[in-house]
Amino acid sequence: MPKKPEDQQRRVYVLPKDLVERIAQYQKMGGFGSEVEVVRSLLTEAVSKIDSTAMLLDRVREKFKTLPNASMVAKEVLAGHPLVTKIEFMGDEVEFWLHGRQDLITIRNSNDGTSEMSVSAEPSRVGRFKLDFMGRVLLEEEKGWRLLGP
């Protein structure tokens, strides 16, 4: 998906010659169209490794504010992320599993245009979460929905 100019920043970095040569080699091996594309890919991969589960779910929540459906969010945020071990697409739902955890997380689009997120720690016990149209995450409890975080 093309990025809007206001969503991008231009940066200039000075790199050691041997690192530039390794980047060029990686570009050829990976079939990247440009040096910028390969550097962007390498940086994205590197900074993804410091993400926590909470950081990843926050990123999912944020992307729902700008993308119309769960599949597009999965493509932009989840695909290729080192914490994600499996993604399944089922109509309007996307389920994904995170590395080192047995949690199954499902994202689904509701009929009213909002998005829901649910987390299950074990198959017999499902915690239900909702991502509403304002990007807020709510937790379902016996007495109704409770807002989580800001």
* Closest residue by Cα to residue 94 from 109, 80, 83, 84: 109
Q: How far apart are CA 105 and CA 23, in angstroms?
A: 35
Do 82 and 95 contact (CB within 8 A), yes or no? no
- Predicted local confidence at residue 127, as pLDDT: 41
> By three-state DSSP, how is residue 69 classified?
coil
User: pTM of the entire structure?
Assistant: 0.56
For 124-143, write each residue's pLDDT tens digit. Answer: 223 445 545 555 555 667 88
The full set of domain ranges for the chain reads: 17-49, 53-147
pLDDT for the residue 81: 87
- The predicted pLDDT at position 63 comes to 87
Crossing angle of helices 35-48 and 17-30, in 10° steps, is 100
pLDDT less than 50: residues of the chain? 1, 101-102, 122-128, 131
DSSP structural state of residue 5: G
Helix (H, G, I), strand (E, B) or coil at 100: coil
Q: What is the pLDDT of residue 26?
A: 94
